[in-house]
Amino acid sequence: KGKLDKISPDIKATVQNFSAYENIHKIKLSVKEIIVNAKTTKEKYTGIIKLNDVICNTKAVPNKSNTIKANNITAKIDNQIIELAPSKIDAGDAKLTIFGTIKNYIQSPEANITAQGTVDTNLIASFIPQDLKWSNKGYLPIKALIKAKNNNIKLNVKLLANNNNYITPIQVKSFSNQTTLTNIDADINDENITITDVSMYYAGKTNSLLKDIDKTKLKKALSAHGKIINVKTNPTLDKLTIQIPETLMLKIPQTKDGITEITANIIANGNIYKPILNGKLHMINTRVPSLFINAENAIVSLNNDKINAQINNLKIKDMNLSVESNIRTDIIKTNKIDYVKISSN
């Protein structure tokens, strides 16, 4: 006789050699051992889940083996929250430690995840469209904070780079013998990305992201903000603003030894591969020694499909010239110049 009204079962279970396959995305998952240690009451359940020797194989992972591995993943779990303990993840080209929480995971999941470690620049380069030429070398320290709820993702990423570890579309001489910090803040909502801030800083002797970095104490080299819409179907820039407030020394692309110093304020709209540009570039001390070219000062104004260039004190061998010209962005196709004025100084 009697009744059991305060039952509190303990669950201890071990699953060996678990495997699963998801057909749509062709994801193969194998776990050598799953250990569950849980306790339940009428109101609540709590427990710990351990996964040992986890291997996930999918072509969505852009490394040579298409594989993510983890020796051990441990999480605390109850009715409301999953707490992921620091777990080392080996994605081949990226070695990361991941930890964080997932709240309300049954009804309305709200994730707060941190990932930090190093990432091979070849992995980053694999996400860049092949039409865009970037150079890269080595590994970058990375720290990412990810907050996700429903279809909204808030992302903060920090990357460190130096002479031996970098990824860049243009060689920036000002960054030689410097450590730089790149900070990215973005909101991702379905197919649209709002770039709140992308900034690069001179980071001095900083060599780790394990501690928080006070960006207000660093000098900013350049910044960008704006939107990329329809990312999956037709990537389009929406008021992507790029600012270089103080001069940066750059290597001039497609030249052997060309150097220039620039400041810029440019707004880009339209197709990501052929954007419409508005704004100004100010270039000083432009030099291409192999072609005997030296320009003291040049201002390039961008206005949709029109480009106005004013070059003062342009020296080509023994000639000293000033040049003003109006051209269009399709000059390579048309071979036409709207206007050019050359004056001898």
Residues 6+ apart with CB under 8 A from 183: 156, 157, 158, 197, 198, 199, 200, 201, 215
- Residue 252: the pLDDT is 87
Query: Is there a contact between 221 and 202 (Cβ–Cβ < 8 Å)?
Result: yes
Q: Which amino acid is at 85?
A: A
SS (H, E, C) 253-287: CCCCCCEEEEEEEEEEEEECCCCEEEEEEEEEEEE
Query: Is there a contact between 208 and 141 (Cβ–Cβ < 8 Å)?
Result: yes
| Residue keyed to tokens 């620091």 | 86
- In whole angstroms, give the CA distance from residue 288 to residue 252: 8
Number of Cβ within a 10 Å radius of residue 299 = 15
- Residue 26: the pLDDT is 83
- Residue 75: the pLDDT is 95
Q: By C-alpha distance, which of 326, 323, 317, 327 is closest to 343?
A: 323
Is residue 7 classed as helix, strand or coil in its secondary structure?
coil
- Residue 197: the pLDDT is 95
- Residue 81: the pLDDT is 92
| Residue keyed to tokens 């004190």 | 313
Q: How far is CA 188 from CA 11, 147, 198, 230, 283, in A?
A: 40, 10, 14, 11, 35
> At residue 173, what are phi and psi to the nearest 5 degrees?
-65, -30
Average pLDDT across each block of 10 residues of the chain; the chain has 345 residues. List them in order: 63 91 86 91 85 86 74 92 93 87 89 93 76 83 93 93 89 89 94 94 88 90 95 92 94 88 96 91 92 90 92 87 86 78 83
